[in-house]
Amino acid sequence: MSNPKYSNIDMSPKTDDLIAGLEEWCNAEHGRRAELARILDVQPNTVSYWLMRKHKPGSEETLKIVEFLADPEKFRKPGRGLK
C-alpha cells in the first residue's frame, strides 16, 4: 500500500514542463541541484521535492524559475553558481 504523503501530486502540463526544464538543467552536471537552490533562494530539499514531483513551486518560485530557465547562465558565477 502506498503512502499518499509520498505519492506524486497532480501538476498542470505547464508546471510539469517547467520542472522538466529544471530537471534537464540539473542533470547536465553534478552539484547543480544545490546550485539551483542557491540561485532560486530555496532549500536544496525543496528542489529535490520539485524534481520528484512531490511539491509544486509557489507563485513567486515559479516566476523565478521562468526567469532562470530563460537564461540560466545569467545567474551563474564561475565556479560558484551564485549571482
The CA distance from 57 to 34, in Å, is 16
What 3-state DSSP class applies to 51? Answer: helix
Residue 21 has pLDDT above 80, yes or no: yes
Q: In CATH terms, is domain 10-69 a member of 1.10.260?
A: yes
Rg (CA), the chain: 13
The CA distance from 71 to 56, in Å, is 21
| % of the chain at pLDDT higher than 70 | 86
Supply the DSSP string of 59-82, one letter for each residue: HHHHHHHHHHHH-GGGG--TTT--
Q: What's the predicted TM-score (pTM) here? A: 0.82
- The residue ranking higher by pLDDT, 2 or 64, is 64
